[in-house]
Amino acid sequence: MALVGTTPPHVHDYSYITIHSLSTTTLMDGYQADFLSGINLRLPGLTAAQKRLRAPLISDSKEFELRYTHFSIVMNKSRKFAFFVATNIDGFKWNAEVKDRITFAKDRNILDEHQIGDELYDFYKSVSNNDFDKGHIAKFRDPQWGDSTTVKKAADETMKYSNCVPQHHTLNRGAWKSLEDYIVKKFTKDNGADGRKVSVFAGPVLLKSDPYYIDLIDGKPLQIPCHFYKVVVYRNKKDKLSAVAFIMSQENILREHNFVVDEKQDVRGVKVTRETADVDFFEDFKTGEPYQVRIDFVEQVTGLKFSLNKVVQPYTKKESTKIIYKRVEVPVSREAFIKIPLKDRPLNFEFERIKL
């Protein structure tokens, strides 16, 4: 998750990355539906329209699942970002030992035209500083479990643009990172049949109304996802299969700094003229509660189906879509715009009021 436009720190900070191309890679077993006992948790279902937008594999045009070590990806070839990434995490075997810099590259198992890479993240070099981190969907450390060889391979495989979304560093290093850390450090510590196992589905919410990046990318307008979701399936303290969901938004942040515009004709440097939403709503929140949502809301906004009807879903609060979208905005903090080295980034959000 490298910050665009800064000088890389010490070599052992893995989050800063160099960009090259990779040759076609061998696909692995990927996400496992039977990873948690007692449930066959298949990949999220897509609508008929979404299925037509899947990016096919170069090796087989009838296959769409990019299978890597402990995680799988299905790409949207039109938006050039993932519909979802599904990850199995075994906390008992978790051994995140890879910390050195690794090459970040286009995924050679799908066409370059079906993914976004350094043409976006390096754009600042010639025109503007967009302050986007390269945000992992399957976190760099999440699939790092097993023996050393497997851990190294899993780490390498997360460093593909198919597993990447543009996230402003305010989101990527604040609330989103805290949630990612929480999943590994908290969810995987409970006891039970699968007390140290969780399955995670994550990705951008690809809305038709997403704004456009302020400048053309490769000569074309590019819509930037503003909202990101995570669905976590785990065993609770009573050993019952449970699932919770979260959404966070960077829309206010992007609009505050004029990184995006609403209409194609406004691309190429025309600033946003409409007022941004009031973000004072979040100033009193220091927990993860504002970002927790019902799983059926994630299904509603993404079009995905998670097949979790028989799983305990402790968060049941019903709200209007408008209210939810307002409260999942990550605050626009002036201090957060100071470029703190990634190795020193603090955990600013505590997740104490989540319903589990």
- Does 271 or 293 have the greater pLDDT score? 293
Report in angstroms the alpha-carbon separations of 312 from 126, 200, 224, 232.
Answer: 50, 15, 33, 12
Q: What global pTM score does this model have?
A: 0.81
**Boundaries of every domain in the chain:** 18-344
Compute φ and ψ for 116, nearest 5 degrees.
-110, 135
Q: pLDDT digits over 178-234, tens only? A: 888 777 776 665 555 565 789 999 999 999 999 999 888 888 899 999 999 999 998
Q: Are residues 196 and 297 in contact, defined by beta-carbon separation less than 8 angstroms?
A: no
Paired tokens of 352: 């104490």
- Does 283 or 317 have the greater pLDDT score? 317
- Quote the mean pLDDT of the chain: 79
Assign domain 18-344 to a CATH class.
alpha beta
HSE-CB at 144 with a 13 A cutoff on CA atoms is: 16
Report in angstroms the alpha-carbon separations of 80 from 87, 113, 224, 268, 346.
Answer: 20, 8, 10, 20, 31
Place of tokens 């050393």: 148
Q: pLDDT digits over 303-351, tens only? A: 999 999 889 998 888 888 888 888 888 877 644 434 434 333 443 444 4
Paired tokens of 127: 């025109």
Report how far residue 317's alpha carbon sits from residue 322's, in angstroms, rounded to the nearest whole number.
Answer: 14
Report how far residue 349's alpha carbon sits from residue 327's, in angstroms, rounded to the nearest whole number.
Answer: 15
